[in-house]
């Protein structure tokens, strides 16, 4: 079957081999044909025929017009991975190929004056619904890493909530916006002079928090530091001590070192009364041997930086009143006295005015208040 597809076959530009793939870009000109484009990447006619017969949506490729864009991605073994078809006046279509089967996803992207945007509507979960919307895994991770400082993805999302991604031609969004019934959280990209890209609120600050140390306002001394091996005073054996102990009078308030969510609030044999706070996707802090918890706290509660969460005690395997404090990054224990933790970033004062103007422009273009 001859594929009369007027498509981008004139300009072929393979990208640099940086991520194990070869990407080929085309833009349609008058008289172009899709089969020529497809064959120019070295792919076979047999595969092309299989593609066209795999789904009725593949027939959309028979209606291509000048200005439409197309990308084919191959791996290092020159195997077909995916096609991204971006018509000039319609929603893009992603065609992926895995385990001898084609998968088609039409991405809900609408044009604005100088940006495009895609909308993810929550039905099951962000990961599931974003993938169905054709959003790349790298972008989904970016969303989770940023919004996790304000959103508990296991508890806060509701069916019908939306995430809006605004694009300005780069691989990652120029804005990421959560729109729920109860609140809207908008983040906008900004590159510093070194070319590093981060996401900031319209006020010019990142969502992540800066950690404070120590987690008490008053304590007598550090009675035991982080050590790979220490003689345990109650177990009478040598073992690692993966936290920092602060000797303090019983009842001394203990405060959250950064904003987060209570992951666990429990009474354990070793730690006694303990609070685990989750901060974003990477960080976890632990507060153990507490005499008790601040009244009213429950697992899943959001905690602000400096909020009282409990009181110094000697519960569990402890010989006297103290706070056992731990920092874990991606599940790995770190020395709280030495580790460099997340710090909130701010837009430079010299750039804040233009940043706010751009942020307001994006929201206006998207119709979001």
Here the CATH number for the domain that contains residue 57 is 3.10.450.350
Is residue 175 assigned to a domain?
Answer: yes
Mean pLDDT of 104-129: 79
Same domain? 170 vs 265: no
Here the CATH number for the domain that contains residue 249 is 2.70.70.10
Same domain? 57 vs 115: no
* Residue 65 domain boundaries: 21-106
SS (HEC) of the chain: CCCCCCCCCCCCCCCCCCCCEEEEEEECCCCCCHHHHHHHCCCCHHHHHHHHHHCHHHHHHHCCCCCCEEEEEEECCCCEEEEEEECCCCCCEEEEEECCEEEEEECCEEECCCCEEEEEECCCCHHHHHHHCCCCHHHHHHHHHHHCCCCCCCCCCCCCCEEEEEECCCCCCCEEEEECCCCEEEEEEEECCCCCEEEECCCCECCCCCCCCCCCCCCCEEEECCEEEEECCCCCCEEEECCEEEECCCCCEEECCCCEEEEEEEEECCCEEEEEEEECCCEEEEEEEEEEECCCCCCCCEECCCCEEEEEECCCCCCCCEEEEEEEECCEEECCCCCCCCCCCECCCCCHHHHHHHHHHHHHHHCCC
Mean pLDDT of 318-335: 96
pLDDT interval class at 107 (50, 70, 90): low
pLDDT of res. 328: 97
pTM: 0.69
Is residue 5 assigned to a domain?
Answer: no
Interval 327-336: pLDDT, tens:
999 999 999 9
pLDDT of res. 5: 33
Same domain? 200 vs 255: no
Q: Is the pLDDT of residue 12 over 50?
A: no
Is residue 3 assigned to a domain?
Answer: no
Same domain? 80 vs 133: no
Same domain? 326 vs 250: yes
Lowest mean pLDDT among 81-95, 157-171, 209-223: 81-95
Is residue 1 assigned to a domain?
Answer: no
Interval 241-276: pLDDT, tens:
899 999 999 999 999 999 999 999 999 999 999 999
């Amino acid at each position: 079957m001859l594929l009369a597809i007027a498509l981008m076959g004139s300009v072929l530009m393979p990208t640099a081999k940086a991520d194990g793939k070869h990407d080929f870009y085309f833009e349609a000109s008058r008289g172009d044909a899709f089969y020529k484009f497809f064959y120019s990447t070295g792919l076979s006619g047999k595969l092309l025929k299989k593609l066209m017969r795999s789904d009725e949506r593949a027939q959309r490729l028979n209606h291509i017009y000048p200005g439409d864009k197309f990308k084919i991605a191959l791996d290092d073994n020159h195997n077909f991975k995916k096609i991204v078809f971006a018509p000039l006046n319609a929603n893009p279509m992603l065609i992926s190929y895995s385990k001898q089967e084609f998968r088609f996803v039409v991405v809900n992207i609408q044009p604005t004056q100088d940006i495009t945007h895609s909308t993810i509507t929550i039905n099951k979960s962000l990961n599931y619904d974003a993938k169905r919307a054709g959003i790349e895994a790298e972008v989904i991770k970016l969303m989770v890493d940023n919004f996790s400082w304000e959103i508990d993805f296991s508890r806060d999302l509701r069916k019908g909530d939306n995430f809006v991604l605004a694009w300005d031609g780069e691989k990652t969004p120029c804005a990421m916006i959560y729109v729920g019934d109860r609140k809207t959280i908008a983040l906008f990209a900004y590159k510093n002079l070194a070319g590093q890209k981060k996401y900031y609120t319209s006020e010019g600050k990142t969502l992540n928090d800066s950690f404070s140390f120590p987690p008490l306002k008053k304590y007598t001394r550090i009675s035991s530091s982080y050590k790979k091996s220490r003689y345990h005073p109650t177990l009478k054996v040598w073992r690692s001590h993966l936290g920092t102990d602060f000797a303090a009078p019983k009842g001394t308030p203990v405060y959250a070192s950064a904003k987060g969510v209570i992951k666990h609030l429990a009474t354990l044999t070793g730690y006694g009364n303990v609070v685990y706070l989750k901060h974003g996707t990477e960080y976890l802090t632990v507060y153990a041997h507490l005499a008790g918890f601040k009244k009213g706290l429950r697992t899943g509660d959001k905690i602000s930086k400096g909020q009282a969460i409990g009181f110094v005690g000697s519960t569990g395997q402890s010989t006297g009143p103290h706070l056992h404090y731990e920092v874990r990054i991606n599940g790995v224990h770190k020395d709280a006295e030495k580790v460099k933790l997340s710090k909130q970033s701010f837009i430079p004062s010299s750039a804040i005015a233009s940043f706010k103007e751009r942020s307001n422009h994006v929201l206006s273009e998207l119709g979001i208040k």
